[in-house]
Amino acid sequence: MAKSDGSELPRKIFDTFGEDLMWASDSELVYWQRKTNKIEEKGKNPRIETKESVRIITLSGQENTVKQGNNLSVLIRSNDGAIAFFEGDAVSGNPVVVRHGKNMEIRPSRLLRVVSHYPPVYDSRIKGPVFHDTDIWIESLDKSYKKRVTYDKQYDFPHLSPDGTKILVDNLATSDLVVLDTNGNELANLGVGVIKISEDLRSMIVTYNASWSPDNKKILYLLDTESERKQDVVNCDIYIVSADGSGRMQVTDTPNEIEMDPEWSPDGSKVACYSENTGKIFVIKLK
């Protein structure tokens, strides 16, 4: 990896493959991992066994497993800064708090997050739930509180700001990052998009991996380049932009490297990410 803005070169701290990289503290990271194993049994067809785990790793490279099992949801972060996952799934499972936020005694009913594609509607044709919209909702971790934010909008991949006053979303119609207030009003269009070699392609990697700075003023996001022949992402770099769309700055310049899950450290001085190509986790010290 190479720097492009005067920040320190990324430092590798671990080799792994995971998702949803998040800072638990200024010296610890949490990530979610799924492993698939092929089980061979004599006289039977091979079966696939899948297990998820939630792990904590320190900047010195020490790793501990928080939970391992079947059907553990990916990590979520609440408005209080708490990190949690669900045992079962994110709709009906039980929340498990990995790290508490600012208020150590806060209850799940007070921890807010934003979701899209909610609520499901029962469809008699398929005898099951379907999602009829891509609107944004705010809900508490235990589902006791729900508030619909947008109506009939093509928004997805919402991210709630740390102070709980703004929501970063992906405008599916334009591929732009948009900042909303909690009533669904548009505050800023950051106009990010993607670099397309082929115009008929569109990647979801950009906004799915965006994150707010601890002071609510800036946003980390990924700008990816899509191939023409292979029709996939060939390069992905990290950028920073102010929440009003000003002051855009490139953090990494890594040809043929795909960074994922960029995350601010709690003190705002570092960014963590992992390489989609190699699985290595990196930490970048900002200026």
- Report the percentage of the chain scoring pLDDT > 90: 6
Instruction: Give residue 185's pLDDT.
Output: 94
Would you tell me how many other CB atoms lie within 10 Å of the CB of residue 253? 14
Q: For residue 252, what pLDDT band results from cuts at 50, 70 and 90? A: confident
- Residues contacting 169, CB < 8 A, separation 6+: 116, 136, 155, 156, 157, 158, 159, 177, 178, 179, 180, 207
Q: What pLDDT score does 132 carry?
A: 59
What's the pLDDT at 48? 78
Q: What percent of the chain has a predicted confidence (pLDDT) above 70?
A: 73
d(C-alpha 138, C-alpha 163), whole Å:
14
Measure CA 139 to chain center: 17
pLDDT value at position 233? Answer: 56
Structure confidence by residue, pLDDT tens digits, 10-65: 566 556 666 778 888 888 888 888 877 777 777 777 777 788 889 888 888 788 89
Q: Note the pLDDT of residue 15.
A: 60
Most confident region among 114-128, 138-152, 201-215 by mean pLDDT: 138-152
pTM for the structure as a whole: 0.71
Higher pLDDT, residue 209 or 169: 169
Q: How far is it, in rounded angstroms, from Cα 256 to Cα 142?
A: 41
The residue with greater pLDDT, 195 or 97, is 97
State pLDDT tens for residues 27-40.
Answer: 888 888 887 777 77
Taking the C-alpha atoms of residue 124 and residue 115, their distance in angstroms, rounded to an integer, is 25
What pLDDT, in 10s, does the model give residues 156-189? Answer: 888 888 888 999 988 877 778 899 999 999 999 8
Q: What angle do CA 272, 267, 67 make, to 5 degrees?
A: 55
Q: How far apart are CA 101 and CA 137, in angstroms?
A: 21
pLDDT digits (tens, 9 = 90+) for 139-155: 887 778 888 898 878 88
- What the chain holds in terms of domains, given with CATH numbers, is 11-39+47-101+110-285 (2.120.10)
Are the C-beta atoms of 270 and 282 separated by less than 8 Å?
no
At residue 160, φ and ψ (nearest 5 deg) are: -85, 135
Closest to 157 (Cα-Cα) out of 191, 204, 124: 204
Give the whole-angstrom CA distance, residue 57 versus residue 15.
Answer: 11
Residue partners of 143: CB distance under 8 A and separation at least 6:
none
